[in-house]
Amino acid sequence: MCGIVGAIAERNVVNILLEGLKRLEYRGYDSAGVALVDADQKLHRVRRIGKVQELQNALAESPLKGSIGIAHTRWATHGGVTDKNAHPHFSSEQIAVVHNGIIENYQSLREILRSDGYDFQSETDTETIAHTIHKEMKQAESLLDAVCKSVKQFHGAYGTVVMDKNDPETLVVARSGSPLVIGLGIGENFIASDQLALLPVTRRFIFLEEGDVAEITRTSVRILDKNGEEVERQIHDSEIEHDAGDKAGYRHYMLKEIYEQPIVVRNALQGRLNSEGLLPGIYGDDADMILQKVRHVQIVACGTSYHAGMTARYWLEQYANVSCNVEIASEFRYRKSFVHDNSLLITISQSGETADTLAALRLAKELGYMSSLTVCNVPGSSLVRESDLSFMTKAGAEIGVASTKAFTTQLTALLMLTLKLGQCNGMSKEQANAIVNALNTLPAKLEATLNLDKEIGQLAEEFADKHHALFLGRGDQYPIAMEGALKLKEISYIHAEAYASGELKHGPLALIDDEMPVIVVAPNNELLEKLKSNVEEVRARGGIMYVFADKDANFESDATMRVINIPHVDEIVAPIVYTLPLQLLSYYVAVIKGTDVDQPRNLAKSVTVE
Ligand code: HGA
């Protein structure tokens, strides 16, 4: 999603801003821009649709210099993808603004501002921020004062950075619903929507909280909280171990991240599980007291994380004997729901900043859930800070927009949690041992599954000219089929749907013909015979199938069915293992189709707008 970078220093900040934007590129965007105040107190701006490279080329042709500046990568929500709609936005050639989020009341603000004489140069909601602040400046004591007065007029979500060419010593930033982090340097300070953008210049960060407005100079940071009270916020040393870095020889980040899965799943297990079971204290002090009481779980998530939650429901109910509901965050937050006794709210999010999931957590607190736990990949993120308990997935920075290793580490974390809650709830020793053994052998199974790479690469050729695909699974493999379909849609733009295979006869069978490939995930579990009947239903209607199956499941390749044998694996962790071939399939189909694998069209990572 949109990225923000700002800097105030003694040196020229142009390259810091561009490097910061590049580090946020992976989140997906459609245009980029930068604004600076130069030594003569003149405000300059360059904006380009397309990649940051276009912006960089433009700046190479007409270089800019300034020791204070703001920059942005935009993922359009209001107004088309044009140079004019790209940020920064100006008011009266004095105030410059970048913004992540949505100003929901922008239309009424526009009307008021128009009647005050302001001309709008863009179709964006963001431009109302610039003009409102400019208007407030007329009676304000300072830029900070004007921003504080302005934010009271905005409904919706914003992370915004404001610069005034008449005060080139100060940046003012405001956060409500969209994250911002201040980076502390020596004699220079920075602001960004994600600490990753600032890692080349600092590792010391202050995470702004909801409602904070801050004034940043080269040597000082002053923060006012949502009540306008001056507050001290803790300084964090970044825990990000390694820089997202390069592709390590892989053609795409996505392929690198697919291949990292055995390692990151091992990392997720390390220090938490040994051959005997879970180690004590891994959910934090006092967590056991809370987890002992849990009798119901409500999972809330979006996209791929929602599929992880759906898989966990099968595990929690089957193995931990704990009832569980799973819901898409954007639905959960806008409907009346009931809170069961002793209910734990679990949020799942790679970034920890997913706007709908965060809003759902806040709502759950009001509704009176017993406690909240987040399964998240980014330490210090909003979900981690606002949840009672957090469990980090340790996947490392995920750059590909289409999530891979974040998903399998989420599943690993959720299976560990199943074990924990099960043990709090009378799980038998045999069952616990079975989960422990399955988890401990998981990294090796994932490694073995990656050996299918070549075979799946060849298989992908058969999908390149298809427009639709159907994914089938049963039980805990149904969400894996959903995730497989999502991956194919996201990066190859082939329309793909997933069905619980028992549902075929209730509608989707009508779609079957030899132009509709059917992908089946078929581990050797108790639902195998049922699944085989569903496969026959497809065969009888002339469907072409690709079956990912355990060898012992006894599927045979023939004219209408191609079988890809997956290494034998304990059925407990089969959903995690069967995810990998589906990721590889989507990846290779996308490569053959020549799409932008790491930054697919229209999509963004870390979805910080509602
Ligand atoms: N609403 C603004 C910013 C959009 C955004 O934050 N995307 O992630 C616009 O459309 O320009």
Tens of pLDDT, residue by residue over 5-44, are 999 999 999 999 999 999 998 878 899 999 999 999 999 9
| Nearest-atom index, ligand 1, CA of 76 | 10
pLDDT at 245: 58
Question: If you measure from the C-alpha of residue 362 to the centroid of ligand 1, how many angstroms do you get, rounded to a whole number?
Answer: 23
pLDDT at 524: 77
Question: If you measure from the C-alpha of residue 243 to the centroid of ligand 1, how many angstroms do you get, rounded to a whole number?
Answer: 27
Mean pLDDT of the chain: 94
CB atoms within 10 A of CB 572: 23
Q: pLDDT tens for residues 80-118?
A: 999 999 999 999 999 999 999 999 999 999 999 999 999
Q: Which of 421, 433, 432, 393 lies closest to 287 in space, CA to CA? A: 421
Is residue 243 pLDDT above 70, yes or no? no
| Nearest-atom index, ligand 1, CA of 100 | 6
Residue 20 corresponds to which amino acid?
A: G
Q: pLDDT tens for residues 167-196?
A: 999 999 999 988 999 999 999 999 999 998
| Nearest-atom index, ligand 1, CA of 125 | 1
Is residue 241 pLDDT above 60, yes or no? no
pLDDT band at residue 244, thresholds of 50, 70 and 90?
A: low
Instruction: State mean pLDDT over 528-532.
Output: 84
| Alpha carbon of residue 118 to chain centroid | 37
- Residues with Cβ within 8 Å of residue 507, at least 6 apart in sequence: none
Question: If you measure from the C-alpha of residue 85 to the centroid of ligand 1, how many angstroms do you get, rounded to a whole number?
Answer: 10
3-state secondary structure 183-248: EECCCCEEEECCHHHHCCCCCEEEECCCCCEEEECCCCEEEECCCCCEECCCCEECCCCCCCCCCC
Question: If you measure from the C-alpha of residue 116 to the centroid of ligand 1, how many angstroms do you get, rounded to a whole number?
Answer: 24
Question: If you measure from the C-alpha of residue 99 to the centroid of ligand 1, how many angstroms do you get, rounded to a whole number?
Answer: 7
Q: Which of 66, 26, 69, 72 lies closest to 49 in space, CA to CA? A: 72
Instruction: State mean pLDDT over 331-344.
Output: 94
Ligand 1 neighbours (beta carbon < 6 A): 1-2, 74-79, 99-102, 124-126, 609
pLDDT band at residue 488, thresholds of 50, 70 and 90?
A: very high
Instruction: State mean pLDDT over 367-377.
Output: 97
What is the distance between the alpha carbons of residues 539 and 518, in angstroms, rounded to a whole number? 10
| Alpha carbon of residue 137 to chain centroid | 36
What is the distance between the alpha carbons of residues 135 and 129, in angstroms, rounded to a whole number? 10
The DSSP symbol for 509 reads G
Specify the pTM: 0.79
- Residues with Cβ within 8 Å of residue 524, at least 6 apart in sequence: 549, 550, 552, 553, 568, 571
The DSSP symbol for 125 reads S
| Nearest-atom index, ligand 1, CA of 86 | 11
pLDDT at 223: 98
What is the distance between the alpha carbons of residues 352 and 349, in angstroms, rounded to a whole number? 5
pLDDT at 599: 87
Annotated catalytic residues are 2, 605
pLDDT band at residue 246, thresholds of 50, 70 and 90?
A: confident
Is residue 536 pLDDT above 90, yes or no? no
Instruction: State mean pLDDT over 264-283.
Output: 94
Is residue 358 pLDDT above 70, yes or no? yes
| Nearest-atom index, ligand 1, CA of 102 | 1
Is residue 563 pLDDT above 90, yes or no? yes
What is the distance between the alpha carbons of residues 224 and 214, in angstroms, rounded to a whole number? 6
Question: If you measure from the C-alpha of residue 126 to the centroid of ligand 1, how many angstroms do you get, rounded to a whole number?
Answer: 7
Question: If you measure from the C-alpha of residue 74 to the centroid of ligand 1, how many angstroms do you get, rounded to a whole number?
Answer: 6
Q: pLDDT tens for residues 545-558?
A: 999 999 888 898 99
Instruction: State mean pLDDT over 383-402.
Output: 93
